[in-house]
Structure 1
Amino acid sequence: MTTSNIAVPTAETPSMDTHSPSLDTHLSPSSLDTLFSDLQPPLTDRQAAIESARCLYCYDAPCIKACPTGINIPSFIASLHAGNVEGAARTILESNIMGGSCARVCPTEILCEQSCVRNKEAECAPVLIGRLQRYATDHASFTGHPFKRAEASGKTIAVIGAGPAGLSCAHRLAMLGHEVEVFEAEDKAGGLNEYGIARYKLTDNYAQQEVDFILGIGGITVHSGKALGRDIQLDTLVTEFDAVFLAIGLQATRQLQLDQEHHSAVMDAVDYIKTLRQASDLSELVVPQSAVVIGAGNTAIDIACQLKRLGAEEVTLVYRRGEQDMGATHHEQQIAKQHQVRIRTWSRPETIHVDENGHLTGMTFRRTELQQNHLVDTHLSEQIACEAIFKAVGQTLSLPEADDVELPVIQNGKIHVDEHFKTSMDKVFAGGDCTGIGQDLTVEAVQQGKLAALAIHQSLCQKTA
């Protein structure tokens, strides 16, 4: 592996800043494959049997209420305990068709497992719901697709975006008998699961396996490499289809508004993660010896930990507020600390430093504090030396604008929808990260896609009644 002052690399031809010599981290491809294996290994048969026996099968289960997709958790665990793996998986997938990936990436520690009544027992440890969910979905063996399509409705719906929200919506619409055409800007379907999740959370090409499973129901056609505003137009889709569902996510990274922000060694974290996830040989990636990550959410944690696994010697995550305000869960913060990522809070990005030869040398941060609930600068500052800076300060919506083309109403930077996921445009619905509903979580996107599909179905039924 090589390290250098870098620009965003590609898996095929790593990009290197020619101002800086390359350095060898001595990590072999096999070592890297091991480092990027499952963060949390799956349960064995015996472990799953023991863990499923711990569930109290609560009648009014708080874990169900805490699950955004409303999975009947006691029911699927009871099925597992009885040895009915297919029944357990079906219960999960009825509520969450992406239950396999959600079992791997969902922050269960702040959702179902936090609500588990076992937290109040003497052992103070919840049932490992997420790992049991993974066991069920991984070990189920169905003959064909577990869900059948309803009688053909004669209606066709366009879904823009093949991420969790789009795929969930498409699958539910297909179940209801509609034909669905999915338009995806990238080369592969999967969205965040394929391009944006830490590689050690979704391993072994699982994202594509799940896409194939979802498409197995039939009635769904995916058109890859079709971007809204470039290859397809919203007004055309509204004319040609009975309904349109926007699941376009958030495409642009917020800017720091600093000089030198467009230096080749200042990168968007999501772009680097995308490259990392698509790399066939991790040893060919270009990795800095020292890096600064700006941000406090899960993306910031993901890029910081992956840089350490790739061989970066020093990674510092910097946030302008305190740890209690970080978007990443406490569990994710602990993962970062276990990777020996330095976390510097109460520090605001102020200056990016580049020397006379064009090398990025570091960054200055202004120390901050709270005064009467307002974040203010102090007189103190700190400079952190680094070869690369990764921005993980949040994503923003980017809708293509064109003359005489109607667009949905935007509110607070996201597409405004009503309680039925309907936008301001006739026949156009939206869900997932591009709307302001719920948290920016995979499981939330899946639920919104499912509910939007039901709303679209109801709307179409009313028009034909």
Structure 2
Amino acid sequence: MSSNAFTPGVVPARLDGDDYAAQFSDLHPRLDAHEALVAADRCYFCHDAPCITACPTDIDIPLFIRQIATGTPDAAAKTILSQNIMGGMCARVCPTEQLCEEACVREAAEGKPVLIGQLQRYATDHLQEQGIHPFSRAAATGKTVAVVGAGPAGLSCAHRLAMLGHDVVVYDARPKAGGLNEYGIATYKTVDGYAQSEVDWLLQIGGIEIRTDVALGSGVSLAQLRKDHDAVFLGIGLGGVNAMDVSGADKSGVLDAVDFIADLRQASDVAQVPVGRDVVVIGGGMTAIDAAVQAKLLGALNVTLVYRRGRDRMNASVFEQDLAASRGVRIVTHAVPSAVIGNGAVREIEFDYVRDDMTPTGDTLRLAADQVFKAIGQTLVGEELPALDGRKIKVSGAGRTSLEHVWAGGDCASGGDDLTVTAVAEGRDAAMDIHQALTGATA
């Protein structure tokens, strides 16, 4: 990885000190009690509600909204959390505009859906801020399960297993639990240390031990985990970053977007995170949008996001694309990087324009850049893994792999979308399958 060290133009504190709090304030401030009641009153409480089908975790959305409408937000939270134990985080980061809210009957009729995501946050925050954990453990089964990866999939799996009476040890390579929620999401989406407070709340179920700074393959082997535990769940995410195979890609100032986002997430003072004057972000997913928007919020003068295909092919939702544009991010499409230019440190980056089939048009684009963030996809990293399906662990059913008593879910596994909510669903479902495999019982 290249460094910002000795990169001209990449400096901290581009803005006045008082500006940062406003720049990185909560993207969607929580509804107050009155706003929640007004928003809940718009729900039709549909029979066979399409919003439930659109939710990867199958939350009974009309039920929890009705519970808010009748003044029982803690009951609403339990309805949510029984299906999605990380419902508080998902309320903040889930692309509801593409899932439940897009399916909402109000959206189809009026172009204005019920605020499902914000209502979900209202309910879960109301309960969690009281320190209430509405679930308890079943009788001990005497079985132990290793969960590798303390991200959404791993923590969801661990919580459900603990609730079913198993003892769980969660291993994670990083210093903190949380995975993507802690290290990989824009700071303005999860303010005030919410990721860690949610982890602490989740662990109140008991029966879960977290061991950080332990990586699969170096700190512990899969073979040893299979020997020491009755089952193993792999929720290791995608730890590698695809390389940008162009000349000059190793110059100072060319960085992985995931590292930039992680630095911001872990910074005690975001003002001290250095950013360039002219920033270029390469990619079209959520990571690219988060990096581009935050570079602008840190005070970068010019931020350009460049994607190889059209905007309709970007993995980032239209809402996120519009958010970036509203913050002053320029979006350039149908362009691929061809060279990074500079003497030791990046000064410019050149792109070739391409057609939909990726053939060059013959036109080029050269952008000034003192900082370039790569967000061109991540790869699976690990040793002695189960059989793969392409670049991910091959799974069948509820996350079963090619190895006996080894399950996988989340971004590292083949199957669903790379979303927090999907990872939570896969971790939960794998836990249920593990429970049945170990005990013969269905929960």
TM-score relative to the length of structure 2: 0.97
Is 1:225 matched up with 2:203?
Answer: no
Query: Which position in structure 1 is the counterpart of 2:391?
Result: 413
Between the aligned partners of 1:21 and 1:304, the Cα distance in structure 2 is 17
Which stretch has the larger CA shift, 330-339 or 377-386?
Answer: 377-386
Equivalent pair of 1:170/1:220 in contact (CA under 8 Å)? yes
Is 1:309 matched up with 2:297?
Answer: yes
Percent identity of equivalent pairs: 50
SS of match in other structure, 1:375:
coil
Moved over 3 A (4+): 21-26, 141-144
Q: What letter matches 1:16 in structure 2?
A: A
Is 1:197 matched up with 2:197?
Answer: no
SS of match in other structure, 1:182:
strand
Query: Which position in structure 2 is the counterpart of 1:367?
Result: 353
Q: What letter matches 2:397 in structure 1?
A: E
Task: Report the CA distance shift for 1:366/1:156 in structure 2 as closer, same or farther (over 3 A).
Answer: same
For residue 386 of structure 1, the aligned residue among 345, 353, 369 is 369
Structure 1 unaligned regions, length at least 5 = 1-5, 9-14, 401-405
Query: Which position in structure 2 is the counterpart of 1:426?
Result: 404
Which stretch has the larger CA shift, 135-144 or 334-343?
Answer: 135-144
For residue 448 of structure 1, the aligned residue among 423, 426, 435 is 426
Residues 340-364 of structure 1 deviation map (CA, whole Å, 9 limit, x = unaligned): 1011101111111013xx2311111
Deviation at 1:379, TM superposition (A): 1.2
Deviation at 1:24, TM superposition (A): 7.1
Task: Report the CA distance shift for 1:191/1:253 in structure 2 as closer, same or farther (over 3 A).
Answer: same
TM-score relative to the length of structure 1: 0.92
CA RMSD of aligned residues (A): 1.7
Show the 5 A alignment for 1:100-111: 100-111=88-99
Between the aligned partners of 1:319 and 1:286, the Cα distance in structure 2 is 24
Residues 390-415 of structure 1 deviation map (CA, whole Å, 9 limit, x = unaligned): 00001010112xxxxx4300111000
Q: What letter matches 2:376 in structure 1?
A: V
Equivalent pair of 1:157/1:181 in contact (CA under 8 Å)? yes
Task: Report the CA distance shift for 1:171/1:21 in structure 2 as closer, same or farther (over 3 A).
Answer: closer
Deviation at 1:263, TM superposition (A): 1.7
SS of match in other structure, 1:185:
coil
Task: Report the CA distance shift for 1:186/1:348 in structure 2 as closer, same or farther (over 3 A).
Answer: same
Equivalent pair of 2:395/2:401 in contact (CA under 8 Å)? yes
Between the aligned partners of 1:41 and 1:254, the Cα distance in structure 2 is 35
Equivalent pair of 1:316/1:343 in contact (CA under 8 Å)? yes
Deviation at 1:140, TM superposition (A): 2.0
Q: How many residues align?
A: 441
Task: Report the CA distance shift for 1:23/1:134 in structure 2 as closer, same or farther (over 3 A).
Answer: closer
Deviation at 1:461, TM superposition (A): 1.3
Residues 274-313 of structure 1 deviation map (CA, whole Å, 9 limit, x = unaligned): 0110000112111101111000001000000000000000
Query: Which position in structure 2 is the counterpart of 1:277?
Result: 265
Query: Which position in structure 2 is the counterpart of 1:32?
Result: 20
Query: Which position in structure 1 is the counterpart of 2:415?
Result: 437
Structure 2 unaligned regions, length at least 5 = none
Show the 5 A alignment for 1:145-160: 145-160=133-148
Task: Report the CA distance shift for 1:47/1:256 in structure 2 as closer, same or farther (over 3 A).
Answer: same
SS of match in other structure, 1:438:
coil
Between the aligned partners of 1:82 and 1:230, the Cα distance in structure 2 is 52
Between the aligned partners of 1:88 and 1:255, the Cα distance in structure 2 is 45
Between the aligned partners of 2:107 and 2:134, the Cα distance in structure 1 is 34
Between the aligned partners of 2:71 and 2:267, the Cα distance in structure 1 is 39
SS of match in other structure, 2:337:
strand
Query: Which position in structure 2 is the counterpart of 1:12?
Result: none
Query: Which position in structure 1 is the counterpart of 2:126?
Result: 139
Q: What letter matches 1:377 in structure 2?
A: P
Equivalent pair of 1:29/1:282 in contact (CA under 8 Å)? no
Between the aligned partners of 1:421 and 1:282, the Cα distance in structure 2 is 38
Deviation at 1:21, TM superposition (A): 6.2
Q: What letter matches 1:134 in structure 2?
A: R
Deviation at 1:124, TM superposition (A): 2.5
Show the 5 A alignment for 1:220-299: 220-299=208-287
SS of match in other structure, 1:367:
strand
SS of match in other structure, 2:436:
helix
SS of match in other structure, 2:281:
strand
Query: Which position in structure 2 is the counterpart of 1:395?
Result: 378
Equivalent pair of 1:319/1:345 in contact (CA under 8 Å)? yes
Is 1:63 matched up with 2:55?
Answer: no
Is 1:48 matched up with 2:36?
Answer: yes
Is 1:172 matched up with 2:172?
Answer: no
Q: What letter matches 2:214 in structure 1?
A: K
Deviation at 1:134, TM superposition (A): 0.4
Query: Which position in structure 2 is the counterpart of 1:376?
Result: 359
SS of match in other structure, 1:28:
coil
Residues 16-49 of structure 1 deviation map (CA, whole Å, 9 limit, x = unaligned): 31x6367675523432122111011111211111
Task: Report the CA distance shift for 1:442/1:266 in structure 2 as closer, same or farther (over 3 A).
Answer: same
Task: Report the CA distance shift for 1:22/1:172 in structure 2 as closer, same or farther (over 3 A).
Answer: closer
Deviation at 1:79, TM superposition (A): 0.4
Which stretch has the larger CA shift, 112-121 or 20-29?
Answer: 20-29
Between the aligned partners of 2:189 and 2:303, the Cα distance in structure 1 is 20
Between the aligned partners of 2:223 and 2:345, the Cα distance in structure 1 is 47
Between the aligned partners of 1:179 and 1:353, the Cα distance in structure 2 is 54
Is 1:91 matched up with 2:74?
Answer: no
Between the aligned partners of 1:380 and 1:36, the Cα distance in structure 2 is 38
SS of match in other structure, 2:284:
coil
Residues 432-458 of structure 1 deviation map (CA, whole Å, 9 limit, x = unaligned): 000111100000000000000001001
Residues 196-215 of structure 1 deviation map (CA, whole Å, 9 limit, x = unaligned): 00000011000001000110
Residues 106-144 of structure 1 deviation map (CA, whole Å, 9 limit, x = unaligned): 0000000000001233x3211000000000011126674
Which stretch has the larger CA shift, 375-384 or 29-38?
Answer: 29-38
SS of match in other structure, 1:324:
helix
